[in-house]
Amino acid sequence: MAAVDFVIAGAGHNSLVTACYLAKAGYSCTILDARPIPGGGCATEEILGPGYGIDTCSTGHTLILQNPLIRLDELGLVEEYGLSYLHPDPVAHVALPDGEQITMSLDLDATVAEFARYSQQDAESYARLISEFDELRPLLGDARSGPVGMAPSMRDLLRDHPRGGIWARRMAMSARDVILHEFTSPHVRAFMGWMAFQTAVPIDQAGTGFLPYQITAPRQARSWSIPKGGSGRLTDALVGFLVNRGAEFRYEARVESLIL
């Protein structure tokens, strides 16, 4: 291998984003991946035949839209490489075992009315949950947007917040306990439990109490944020950026160990 500034182990989207910023700063990069294609879990593949693109892992890109990568289009992925996102409405339609169904719409009033079919109290609790997340949103941004070890912790930020004690308690609770506390209808509880489980973290685990807020509220605001053309369009844009800056890709190249 010719001399290169950085060798990137893996061509998943996180690795590709890292390589893009390195390339933008003028460093040379070689990206290795064990698969024959880039993207890792962010790939759209024709596994059923030519012309039928299937997202083989991720589909909704719900968090990355808040990243300056997309929000400020720092790499030109939107303007120069054609990346765009769709925001489906309805957001979700959940069928429950007893035949009942709940539809979540981008229109908050419509979603609240849907919950009111099961419990007016739960409808009001849902509207309050969405509203209360607005006071948590900037704290989450401050705690999670800085370099690891350099950003203030969520606990530190909550100490100075007028309702910090309430949020600290919720943060220590499980998502299940929060849902049982806030909602009464078994149908609404089931729906909120499904929403809270989107990260595949057990909702009865202590410390997951933010999940009903930080997953549900952004979905209510922006739906699932699906890349137009499939999940792999993000990968295509990142790869295009790197190729245009001379980065080298080596596929079917398994990394056996890292020398630190």
Peptide bond just before 88 cis, omega within 30 deg: no
Mean pLDDT of all residues in 17-35: 97
pLDDT tens, position by position, 241-253: 999 999 999 999 9
Mean pLDDT of all residues in 43-57: 93
Alpha carbons 117 and 122: distance in angstroms, whole number: 10
Alpha carbons 218 and 133: distance in angstroms, whole number: 9
Out of 2-16, 139-153, 171-185, 212-226, pick the least confident.
139-153
Out of 53-67, 110-124, 145-159, 160-174, pick the least confident.
145-159
Phi-psi region of 235 (alpha: psi -120 to 50; beta: other; left: phi over 0): alpha
pLDDT at 1: 57
Alpha carbons 21 and 203: distance in angstroms, whole number: 35
Length of the chain: 260
260: pLDDT confidence band, cut at 50, 70 and 90? confident
CB-based contacts of 164: which residues, under 8 Å, 6+ apart?
157, 158
pTM as predicted: 0.83
Tally of CB atoms within 10 A around 99: 6
235 in Cβ contact with 196 (< 8 Å) = no
41 in Cβ contact with 60 (< 8 Å) = no
233 in Cβ contact with 12 (< 8 Å) = no
21 in Cβ contact with 5 (< 8 Å) = no
237 in Cβ contact with 69 (< 8 Å) = no
Looking at every residue in the chain, the average pLDDT score rounds to 93
Is pLDDT of 185 > 80? yes
Mean pLDDT of all residues in 176-204: 96
Mean pLDDT of all residues in 118-144: 90
pLDDT tens, position by position, 106-129: 999 999 999 999 999 999 999 999
